């Protein structure tokens, strides 16, 4: 949230003698909306104090289980200097005045750390000014604690609630001039707060998207083309309409995506063609769907096969690369030297689905030209824009309510179900709850993109990494990779090897791809940190010491680098790596036969993580992950410690699941359909996970994503140490390994 130039602080009075402070957009701000539209913007009030002293704080980001309802309000409450137990958290609406309501990329903490604290500080400063004026003393002589202003010299005090009405009349401070607390005085930031909706979760209250009920609501099930871009030729609509409970059945033409490889997030996801069935219960709609017979025209992707894509990747790898992403030194000369050892490997990783436990769903009500939506979207603001464009109505006529999501992991960044629900509601002229089946959800995802890496490394006689080459073969056309299917040319060890060549080639793809928790990183960390491990073993070095030595050899700045490349800070990475070695007893412990440790690190989304896994592998290649040590550097503060630990442990379990998952294509259709063939870790397989944070003097950053990527290579590297077999293809079941 960039606020300095786009917003100003404003205070206002609320009924009953309270006051409210918020950020108000500068009037000329160009709003998101139909092209060219300038909309009147309403204020975004973030904190209010009522006369009884209750602080109501607005949470502007969506809650998916990552703790957003706590995080941003905790920042405000800290600087406001109130007791957390007197805070009431409420969700904001959705609109441009909230300065970007995007939950993704672990951005909520870093982008809101400054503005949220300043909003709290502004409210506090106005309350102090009100007290000072009441007492006829200087504001500097007053202090605050737990929602009370003190004038110690005269032993006087007033509660915030008593001052709220007067505070509203005080001058509004300039946003950038506010004095923030010394972090050593923090009482809320760094102290665990319980989830805002935990009570409701534990008593089964209807708080999720799937639970939304609107009077007069109908239920929709939507059969979409199983092949991307397919069209409905005909369907037995009359038979379906005659079925019990069915009110409507109709063909939806679908809306093509903005361009073949779009940025789905902002240009609109389009939505697929199919047949919508609307009934008086979801069960009736779903039962009718079982009798649905559709004749499809599948179009150009009907022959696409995963196996053919893999063969094509090998062909492309044998040819000159499509593009060089980064080159340093003279790698070809280094590979041809006679005194070097050359290591080569091919890695392959699959497409995978998000499979959030709550399937995609959305409730929409189109009435009198206006749309009201209840959604679990991670990107509600772009969703509102997209729906307005889709229906051809002004964005101001789309009201969007954020509802708790049963997991996001990036899937709910894509507003396809929102578009479908809006379209169906408008077509039938009634409120409609659209719910996808699990099969819909697995087969119509924006998948984590698969890909292939072809590696070559040269090690000199001293065991030093002399040259590194990786040829990334993935999906795209022309210069563009498919959405979130590219490669970060700054990925380690780029910048740490004198002779380096990073290349990429592409082939076309007829499947939607997208952001899955730690996008890019969740596959790149596995391939890069696995191959570094191969090189370390080939060099006869300890894999952890080899990495530490590499991190000391920065060559950064010797060659032009893609400005989009995200590069790590080697001192911070060495810090977490060394602590992970210490915590896990790396090199210090004797493990029983069949057991071994593996190590890996990765920098993503602003966070530095090193992880060590202890695994045991039996003769049947059954893998038990006994324990995982995670060390993270996410800056100076861990805002909500219990929630943070939960996120990290969850990221590890999630990463382990990614080692056994795949989505494959046959005749253009996604083969997998439910949790039996796109499985995930279960309780007996979940390891003990010890989480440590290395606090460094850097602004705090987000935690939803960066803990995930290193676990895959850490486990794969441990499996190599235990068995001598290197996992070069995921899912690891392709090499006969499975979790015990």
Partner 1 sequence: MITLTINGKPRPFSGDPEMPLLWVLRDEFNLKGAKFGCGMGLCGACTVHVNGEPARSCLMTAAEMSGKSITTIEGLSVDGSHPVQLAWEAIDVPQCGYCQAGQMMTACALLAKTPNPNDVEIDSAMSGNLCRCGTYRRIRAAVHQAAELGKVRK
Encoded tokens for 290? 């079982």
Q: Which of 197, 397, 460, 562 is close enough to bind partner 1 by CB under 8 A?
A: 197
Summary count for the chain: helices (H), strands (E): 17, 30
Contact 124, 146 (CB under 8 A): no
- Find the binding residues for partner 1 in span 390-409 (CB under 8 A): 404-409
Alpha carbons 145 and 159: distance in angstroms, whole number: 10
CA-based nearest residue to 552, from 601, 604, 496: 496
Q: Which of 4, 38, 143, 213 is close enough to bind partner 1 by CB under 8 A?
A: 213
* Element housing 573 (H / E): helix 570-584
Alpha carbons 717 and 165: distance in angstroms, whole number: 62
Q: Which of 187, 438, 456, 738 is close enough to bind partner 1 by CB under 8 A?
A: 438
Q: Is 357 in the site for partner 1 (CB under 8 A)?
A: yes
Contact 220, 285 (CB under 8 A): yes
Encoded tokens for 518? 């730690």
Q: Which of 96, 115, 570, 650 is close enough to bind partner 1 by CB under 8 A?
A: 650
How much helix, strand and coil, in percent to the nearest 5, is found in the chain? 30, 25, 40
Alpha carbons 399 and 373: distance in angstroms, whole number: 6
Quote the least distance from Cβ 286 to partner 1, whole Å: 9
Give the residue with the Cβ less far from partner 1, 213 or 303: 213
- Spell out, one character per residue from 688 to 707, where the chain touches partner 1: x when CB under 8 A holds, - when not: xx------------------
Quote the least distance from Cβ 646 to partner 1, whole Å: 6
Encoded tokens for 436? 């996808």
Quote the least distance from Cβ 199 to partner 1, whole Å: 6
Encoded tokens for 300? 């150009």
- Interface with partner 1 (CB under 8 A), residue total 64
Segment near partner 1 (CB under 8 A); pick from 395-403, 529-537, 538-546, 671-679: 671-679
Please, which residues have CB within 8 angstroms of residue 517's CB and are 6 or more apart in sequence? 409, 410, 651, 654, 704, 705, 708
Q: Is 684 in the site for partner 1 (CB under 8 A)?
A: yes
Q: Is 157 in the site for partner 1 (CB under 8 A)?
A: no
Quote the least distance from Cβ 243 to partner 1, whole Å: 11
- Spell out, one character per residue from 14 to 53, where the chain touches partner 1: x when CB under 8 A holds, - when not: ----------------------------------------
Q: Is 517 in the site for partner 1 (CB under 8 A)?
A: no
Quote the least distance from Cβ 115 to partner 1, whole Å: 26
Give the residue with the Cβ less far from partner 1, 155 or 203: 203
Q: What is the signed CA dihedral for 528, 531, 535, 536, rounded to 10 degrees?
A: 70
Q: Which of 680, 692, 696, 733 is close enough to bind partner 1 by CB under 8 A?
A: 680
Bridge-based pairing of strands 665-666 and 669-670 is antiparallel
Q: Which of 183, 233, 283, 332 is close enough to bind partner 1 by CB under 8 A?
A: 283
Q: Is 602 in the site for partner 1 (CB under 8 A)?
A: no
Give the residue with the Cβ less far from partner 1, 81 or 445: 445
Q: What is the signed CA dihedral for 522, 524, 526, 531, rounded to 10 degrees?
A: -170
Q: Is the dihedral of CA 694, 700, 703, 708 positive or negative?
A: negative
Q: Is 285 in the site for partner 1 (CB under 8 A)?
A: no
Q: Is 284 in the site for partner 1 (CB under 8 A)?
A: yes
DSSP state of 16: T
Contact 266, 304 (CB under 8 A): no
Quote the least distance from Cβ 416 to partner 1, whole Å: 19
Segment near partner 1 (CB under 8 A); pick from 79-87, 332-340, 357-365, 659-667: 357-365
Q: Which of 131, 362, 652, 663 is close enough to bind partner 1 by CB under 8 A?
A: 652
Contact 614, 627 (CB under 8 A): yes
Alpha carbons 577 and 715: distance in angstroms, whole number: 16
Give the residue with the Cβ less far from partner 1, 265 or 689: 689
Instruction: Locate all alpha helices (DSSP H) within 247-305, ordered by sequence.
Output: 264-267, 282-289
Q: Which of 30, 552, 682, 734 is close enough to bind partner 1 by CB under 8 A?
A: 682
Distance of CA 731 to the CA centre of its chain: 22
Give the residue with the Cβ less far from partner 1, 127 or 653: 653
Q: Is 291 in the site for partner 1 (CB under 8 A)?
A: no
* Element housing 9 (H / E): strand 7-14
Q: Is 681 in the site for partner 1 (CB under 8 A)?
A: yes
Q: Which of 192, 263, 303, 622 is close enough to bind partner 1 by CB under 8 A?
A: 192
Segment near partner 1 (CB under 8 A); pick from 131-139, 199-207, 235-243, 589-597: 199-207
Q: Is 134 in the site for partner 1 (CB under 8 A)?
A: no
- Residue ranges with strand state E in 291-436: 294-297, 323-328, 341-349, 361-367, 370-375, 398-402, 432-435
Q: CA distances (Å), 139 to each of 350, 570, 659, 684, in order?
A: 62, 45, 59, 59
Quote the least distance from Cβ 358 to partner 1, whole Å: 5
Give the residue with the Cβ less far from partner 1, 5 or 676: 676
Please, which residues have CB within 8 angstroms of residue 239's CB and are 6 or more apart in sequence? 291, 293
Q: Is 437 in the site for partner 1 (CB under 8 A)?
A: yes
Segment near partner 1 (CB under 8 A); pick from 48-56, 154-162, 303-311, 356-364: 356-364
Contact 253, 230 (CB under 8 A): no
Residue 493 preceded by cis peptide, ω within 30: yes
Chain residues binding partner 1 by CB under 8 A are: 64-67, 192, 194-195, 197-199, 201-206, 208, 210-211, 213, 219, 244-245, 281-284, 287, 355-359, 404-409, 435, 437-438, 642-643, 646-647, 649-654, 657, 674-676, 680-684, 686, 688-689
């Amino acid at each position: 949230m960039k606020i300095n130039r786009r917003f100003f602080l404003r205070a206002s009075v609320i009924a009953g003698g309270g006051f409210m402070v918020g950020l108000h957009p500068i009037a000329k701000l160009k709003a998101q909306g139909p092209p060219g539209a300038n909309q009147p913007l309403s204020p975004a009030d973030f904190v209010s104090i009522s006369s009884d002293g209750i602080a109501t704080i607005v949470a502007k980001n969506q809650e998916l289980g990552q703790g957003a309802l706590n995080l941003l309000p905790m920042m405000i409450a800290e600087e406001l200097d109130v007791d957390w137990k007197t805070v009431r958290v409420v969700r904001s609406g959705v609109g441009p005045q909230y300065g970007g309501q995007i939950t993704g990329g672990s951005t909520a903490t870093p982008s809101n750390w400054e503005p949220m604290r300043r909003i709290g500080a502004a409210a506090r400063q106005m309350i102090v000014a009100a007290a000072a004026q009441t007492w006829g003393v200087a504001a500097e002589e007053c202090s605050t604690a737990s929602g009370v202003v003190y004038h110690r010299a005269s032993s006087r005090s007033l509660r915030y609630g008593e001052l709220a009405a007067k505070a509203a009349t005080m001058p509004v401070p300039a946003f950038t001039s506010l004095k923030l607390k010394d972090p050593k005085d923090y009482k809320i930031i760094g102290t665990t707060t319980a989830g805002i909706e935990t009570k409701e979760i534990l008593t089964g209250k209807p708080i999720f998207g799937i639970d939304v009920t609107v009077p007069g609501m109908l239920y929709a099930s939507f059969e979409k083309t199983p092949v991307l871009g397919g069209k409905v030729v005909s369907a037995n609509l009359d038979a379906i309409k005659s079925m019990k409970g069915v009110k409507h059945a109709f063909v939806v033409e679908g809306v093509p995506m903005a361009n073949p490889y779009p940025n789905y997030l902002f240009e609109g996801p389009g939505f697929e063609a199919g047949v919508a069935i609307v009934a008086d219960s979801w069960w009736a709609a779903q039962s009718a769907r079982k009798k649905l017979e559709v004749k499809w025209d599948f179009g150009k992707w009907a022959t696409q096969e995963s196996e053919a894509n893999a063969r094509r990747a090998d062909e492309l790898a044998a040819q000159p690369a499509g593009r060089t992403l980064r080159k340093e030194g003279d790698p070809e000369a280094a590979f041809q030297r006679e005194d070097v050892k050359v290591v080569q490997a091919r890695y392959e990783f699959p497409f995978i689905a998000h499979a959030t436990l709550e399937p995609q769903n959305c409730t929409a009500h189109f009435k009198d030209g206006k749309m009201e939506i209840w959604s679990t979207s991670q990107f509600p603001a772009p969703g509102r824009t997209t729906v307005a464009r889709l229906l051809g109505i002004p964005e101001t006529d789309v009201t969007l309510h954020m509802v708790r999501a049963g997991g996001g992991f990036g899937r709910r960044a894509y507003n396809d179900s929102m578009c479908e629900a809006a379209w169906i509601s408008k077509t039938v002229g009634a409120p409609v709850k659209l719910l996808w089946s699990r099969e819909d959800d697995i087969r119509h995802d924006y998948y984590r993109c698969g890909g292939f890496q072809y590696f070559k490394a040269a090690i000199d006689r001293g065991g030093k990494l002399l040259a590194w080459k990786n040829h990334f073969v993935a999906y795209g056309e022309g210069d563009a990779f498919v959405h979130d299917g590219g490669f970060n040319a700054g990925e380690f060890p780029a910048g740490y090897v004198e002779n380096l060549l990073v290349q990429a080639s592409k082939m076309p793809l007829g499947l939607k791809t997208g952001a899955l928790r730690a996008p890019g990183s969740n596959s790149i960390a596995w391939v890069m940190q696995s191959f570094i491990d191969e090189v370390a073993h080939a060099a006869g070095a300890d894999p952890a010491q080899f990495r530490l030595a590499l991190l000391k050899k920065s060559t950064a700045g010797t060659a032009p680098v893609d400005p989009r490349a995200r590069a790590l800070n080697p001192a911070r990475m060495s810090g977490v790596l060394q602590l992970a070695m210490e915590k896990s007893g790396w090199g210090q412990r004797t493990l029983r036969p069949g057991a071994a440790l593996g190590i890996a690190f990765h920098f993503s989304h602003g966070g530095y993580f090193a992880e060590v896994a202890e695994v045991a592998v039996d003769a049947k290649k059954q893998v038990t992950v006994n324990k995982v040590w995670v060390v993270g550097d996410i800056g100076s503060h861990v805002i909500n410690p219990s929630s943070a630990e939960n996120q990290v442990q969850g990221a590890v379990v999630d990463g382990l699941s990614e080692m056994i998952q795949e989505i494959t294509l046959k005749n253009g259709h996604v083969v997998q359909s439910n949790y039996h063939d796109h499985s995930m870790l279960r309780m007996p397989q979940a390891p003990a996970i010890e989480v440590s944070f290395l606090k460094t003097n850097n602004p705090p950053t987000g935690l939803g994503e960066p803990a995930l990527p290193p676990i895959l290579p850490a486990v794969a590297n441990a499996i190599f140490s235990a068995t001598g077999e290197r996992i070069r293809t995921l899912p690891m079941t392709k090499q006969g390994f499975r979790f015990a």
